[in-house]
Chains A and B, each alone.
Chain A
Amino acid sequence: MKITLENLSLQYSGNTVVKELDLEIADGESLVLLGQSGCGKTSTMRCIAGLEQPSGGRITIGDTVVHDSERQVSVAPYKRNVGMVFQSYAVWPHRTVAENVGFSLKMKKVPKEEAIKRVRKALAVVGLSDFETRGASQLSGGQMQRVALARSLVMQPSVLLLDEPLSNLDARLRERLRIELREIQLDLNLTTVYVTHDQIEAFALADRIALMQHGRIVQIGTPQEIYAAPSTKSIADFLGVGNIFPCTVSKNGHQHVATLTDHPVSLPVVDVPDGTGPTSLCLRAEDLLVSKALPGDPTGPGIWRGHIDVASFQGATVRYRITLEQGPVVEAIAMPQAGDWLTTGDTATVRVSPNAAQVLKDDTSSPVLTSPAAATAVAA
């Protein structure tokens, strides 16, 4: 069912955690709320669930207004038919798997036989068919997460909310469950809201990503759009763009040229932000091509010579830190063929992929690190 948030605000003891937020989530869509801890993403989700009372605004699920501050409407959370998977799983350790999963059916007074059938079905969906009578405290983290998911699916929720459900699992399990989650969501055509601070998870699960900072949505779009074109420097930084330098932009004919503020490096760029204010040049580490410097290599805009400080082998890729002759230190990720990767001390030629350089508005005052205010704000 579709969800509409209009002008939603939430305050905790004087602190505004969510600020006048508008968001529409289509029926069957998977929307990911992405942001750092303290950005208000979990609070927004808890407002939809009804676990927090918004201080202003309206929330509609399907055709039902579940919260309207102006008209003093508030539907109790247990009546909203919203499923929620918690970060801590919140699987009840004193109950069996079947008792956990069947709880909502007991609350709805579904006849026993039908309830058993539905519990079995839900457990089959998450791949835990043989676990019915197992005590929930004997499960591993991944199994608990599956129980939590089955418990929410069995109630046939109008909307499924997932609060960083994979963050407590180890990396390999996380990857597998991520794909399974997406598969279930698509299979059931379930409207889901997924909260995470992990961009990879967001990219993998989302139809659309809403990026949040300081209680507001700062960018919304498909994963491809967000990846290709972060709208500000802080978003680029959050998304893990490795190379960010303050720069100024000048015009050379039709061609915009970005020049780093601290180093004698210039680069032609396609788009520049409107308006005035500081700007930054952003280059993804994977958009820098690194090769061993040969005597005849040209240098110029977008082709630099540098000195490898660190080469760290990461399996399929190698991550380099390179000090360019002009001064700046850049990060590059290369996928070298066996044997031809460079080592510390080598001289390298660094080429920027065509159109990879982006000039973005610098919305933070500190140079590379994001402002610590975001991290110290009220927990998400």
Chain B
Amino acid sequence: MTTTLQRPTPPPAVKPQHTSAAGRTAKKILPSGLQLIILAVLVLFPVGFVLLAAFTDTSPGPGSLGEAAFTVSNFKVLFTSSALTAMLNSALVGLGASIVALVIGSGMAFLAARTNVPGRKLIYFFGIAPLFLPALVGALAWAQLGSPASGFINVVARAVGVPDLINIYSFGGLIFVLGLYYAPYTFLMVHSALSLMNPDLEDAASLHGAPLSRMLRTITFPLVMPAIVGSGILVFALTVENFPVAQVIGVPGQIDTLPTLIYRLMNASPSRQNAAAAIAVVLTILLMIVVFIQQRTVAKKQYTTVSGKGVRARRVPLRQWRWPSAVAAWVYFLLAVVLPIGALLISALQTSPYLGQLSQLFEPGALSFYSMGQTLQDPDFWHVLQNSVIVGLGTAFIGTALCFALSYTRYRTNAWGRKWLEYIAMLPLAIPAIVLGLGLLWTWLTLPIPVYGTLIVLVIACIAVFIPQGYRGVSSSIVQLDKDLEDSAIMLGARRPKAISFVTVPLLRVGLSSTFLLLLMLGMRELTAVLFLFTSDTRLLSIAIFDAYDNGSFQQAAELSLLYIVVIGILAVLARRLGAKDVA
């Protein structure tokens, strides 16, 4: 330390900046103001239009605003028997499905996180694998497995002499399918609570003389209870607003839920848009209450996940239950993934559209790739796939950029109204996708911006629905990044945008790229939000599948579903690859 630097030379004289008061105010309000406007158009306008439609006698559209007259008569629809039944059905289905999901999800989470079950890692995979099967596809597959006359399971059962084994088009069936495909949400939340729990807490109980069973009862389960309850309420919210499963499984069995009722009212002729809006308002209020309770429960959860480093949770020896519990986990995987994909394969490859007896399958020429090949050569299929990819990428790019801007403004500036940005960005969590889709339809029909009928409006819809997920992804990584890292670049002479691009964005690349991939996956799978917005030219894969099913072409729906799974599977693998590289 003997070398000497030269005496600092005086810097060039700096001109003091005189900024007017108005200029300062504008500078402070502009960035957050702009973002608030974007969010308002994305989220608040649709909500406003739904309210407008619910309380007036004309459906929103260009030029209809002037003649709208206030009325509450739309809400009369609530007291019709179909609406009351739908409401009751929604509540019961939600309740049943969340119980099923809770039992499956937390049971598997406990097995995978804290026991000596054989093949523990595989069971973790089983726990999350159904996430890669969109609920729409799962529902279609189960419709083919469990329909009363020609469902594959019934065909097999008949072959061994048991007629009418199951009817999936029933209350139980609907609850079963929803529970099956929403169990991974419970699984993930409970698993992370169980494996992040500070093992010292449990060790302390053991050291003070508690036997294993008592430790589990008095320490472990109470600590994961908020995660279990929180995930249960989340699944309730998600299943109540779920449209595809209810439409595919519930409607053929004459079970209407609120989302399917909205869809039916919209597609009635003449379309009963105001009544649909009234039901949408009720469904939204219901969901808002549930989400509010869920957020409160999860907020309390924080004390369970306090530790961080070197966590090695204890394993519970299952003794004689080791193999039975492993088998139970395998059965779940069989029901949620293997059977459905098998059913889709058979439907896609079948040459005769109707399967009356099991033996038919083994006749020569019963299965063929011919039809699948036809689909792959169909330019229409490629067009639809291209649309899906464009919408997915658009959602991911724009959504990630928007969510970064929102999180940055919220957590790194003292801009005016920054807390409101967060509230509005998280709002879509409490708005059912079908309601948001409805509102977006009316918004973009009315606004004098010609995007309706293009892919852009589908991108807008996907962003609106998934802002909360994207925002949470980016903001959770931005709050973990030390603010000084960026400020030090400022002190060294960089302007703010340069500091952001040189320091903050590169350091957030893991968080940003995983948010990008999450939005890409979600955007590619979404059906409900875009249901009212597509045109014949802008159909997506999810819509094509739904259309094929709606037109009664199970075979085409199955083919498209399989291709859809392949596309999503490729994306998932890519996501893991990129994610792994970023972590290294």
A158 near B494: Cβ-Cβ < 8 Å: no
Contact B506 A156 (CB under 8 A): no
Chain B 9-31, CB-CB to A under 8 Å as 1, else 0, gives 11101101111110010000000
Let me know if B5 and A188 touch, CB within 8 A. yes
Contacts of A88 in B (CB 8 A): 482, 484-485
In the complex, which residues of chain A have a beta carbon less than 8 angstroms from the beta carbon of B24? 72
Answer whether A75 and B17 are a contact pair too, CB < 8 Å, given A82-B491, A103-B489, A180-B1: yes
- In the complex, the answer to whether A87 meets B484 with C-beta atoms within 8 Å is yes
Tell whether, in the assembled complex, residue B1 and residue A78 are in contact, meaning their CB atoms are under 8 Å apart.
no
Q: Are B1 and A73 in contact (CB under 8 A)?
A: no
- Structural contact, A90 and B1, CB atoms closer than 8 A: no
Report B501-526 CB contacts with A as 1/0, cut-off 8 Å: 01100110000000000000000000
Determine which residue in B18, B20, B492, B495 has the highest number of CB atoms from chain A within 10 A of its CB, and name it: B492
Residues of chain B from 202 to 217 with CB closer than 8 A to chain A in the complex: none
Q: Nearest chain B CB to A371's CB is how many angstroms away?
A: 29
A254 contacts the other chain (CB 8 A): no
Are A62 and B1 in contact, CB atoms less than 8 angstroms apart? no
Interface string of A182-206 (1 = CB under 8 A from B): 0110011110000000000000000
A121 and B5 contact, CB distance less than 8 A: yes
The listed residue (B1, B3, B16) touching A66 by CB distance below 8 A is B16
With a cutoff of 8 Å between Cβ atoms, the chain A residues found around residue B506 in the complex are 94
Using known A-B contacts A90-B482, A156-B8, A188-B7, determine if residue A73 contacts B17 with beta carbons closer than 8 Å: yes
| Docked pose: A121 CA to B494 CA in angstroms | 22
CB contact list, A131-158 vs B, under 8 A? 148, 151-153, 155-158
Residue of chain A at shortest CB distance from B6: A156
**Contact A93–B4 (Cβ < 8 Å):** no
Contacts of B57 in A (CB 8 A): none
Q: Which of A62, A92, A108, A157 contacts B503 (CB 8 A)?
A: A92
**In the complex the two chains form, is B491's CB within 8 Å of A83's CB?**
yes
Question: Which of chain A's residues have a CB closer than 8 A to the CB of B5?
Answer: 121-122, 125, 153, 156, 187-188
Q: Mark B37-66, 1 if CB is under 8 A from A, else 0.
A: 000000000000000000000000000000
Query: Would you give the 0/1 interface string for A64-93, flagging 1 where the beta carbon is closer than 8 Å to chain B?
Result: 111010011111111111111011101011
* Contact A1 to B10, CB < 8 A, known contacts A88-B482, A183-B1: yes
User: Are A73's CB and B507's CB within 8 A?
Assistant: no
Query: In the bound complex, how far is the Cα of B14 from the Cα of A75, in angstroms?
Result: 8
What range describes how many residues of B lie at the interface?
35 or more
Contact of A155 among B7, B10, B493 (CB under 8 A): B493
Which residue of chain B has the shortest Cβ distance to A181 in the bound complex? B1
A71 touches B14 (CB 8 A): no
Chain A interfacial residues counted at CB < 8 A: 55
**Which residue of chain A is the closest to B506 with respect to CB atoms?**
A94
Minimum CB–CB distance for B14 against chain A, Å: 5
Say yes or no: is B288 at the interface (Cβ < 8 Å to chain A): no
Contact between A78 and B10, CB atoms less than 8 A apart: no
Q: How far is the CB of A87 from chain B (nearest CB, A)?
A: 7
Q: Are B1 and A155 touching (Cβ within 8 A)?
A: no
Q: A71-B18, A72-B18 are in contact. Are A49 and B8 (CB under 8 A)?
A: no
Contact assessment for B507 and A94 in the assembled complex, using a CB-CB cutoff below 8 Å: yes
Q: A48-73 CB contact bits vs B (8 Å, 1 = yes)? A: 01010000000000111110100111
Binary B-proximity of A154-192 (CB < 8 A = 1, otherwise 0): 011110000000000000000000001001100111100
Across-interface contacts of B21 in A (CB, < 8 A):
72
Query: Which one of B9, B482, B492 contacts A104 once the chains associate, using CB atoms below 8 Å?
Result: B492
A294 interfacial contact with B, CB 8 Å: no
Which residues of the other chain, B, contact A190 by a CB distance below 8 angstroms?
8
Residue of B18, B491, B502 with highest tally of chain A CB at under 10 A: B491
Is B18's CB under 8 angstroms from A86's CB? no
**B487 at the binding interface (Cβ < 8 Å):** yes
Pick from B6, B16, B506 the residue with the most CB of A within 10 Å.
B16
Other 18 A-B pairs with CB < 8 A, given A103-B502, A187-B5:
A64-B14, A72-B24, A75-B17, A77-B491, A78-B491, A79-B493, A81-B14, A81-B493, A87-B484, A88-B484, A88-B485, A90-B485, A92-B488, A104-B492, A121-B5, A125-B3, A152-B492, A156-B5
Give A residues with C-beta under 8 Å from B: 1, 49, 51, 62-66, 68, 71-84, 86-88, 90, 92-94, 103-104, 107-108, 121-122, 124-127, 148, 151-153, 155-158, 180, 183-184, 187-190
Sample of 22 A–B contacts (CB below 8 Å): A63-B13, A64-B16, A72-B21, A73-B17, A73-B18, A75-B16, A75-B17, A79-B493, A84-B491, A86-B488, A90-B487, A92-B488, A92-B489, A93-B507, A104-B492, A107-B492, A125-B1, A127-B1, A156-B6, A158-B8, A183-B1, A188-B4
* Nearest 8 pairs of A and B residues by beta carbon: A107-B493, A90-B484, A90-B488, A104-B492, A81-B11, A156-B8, A86-B484, A84-B491
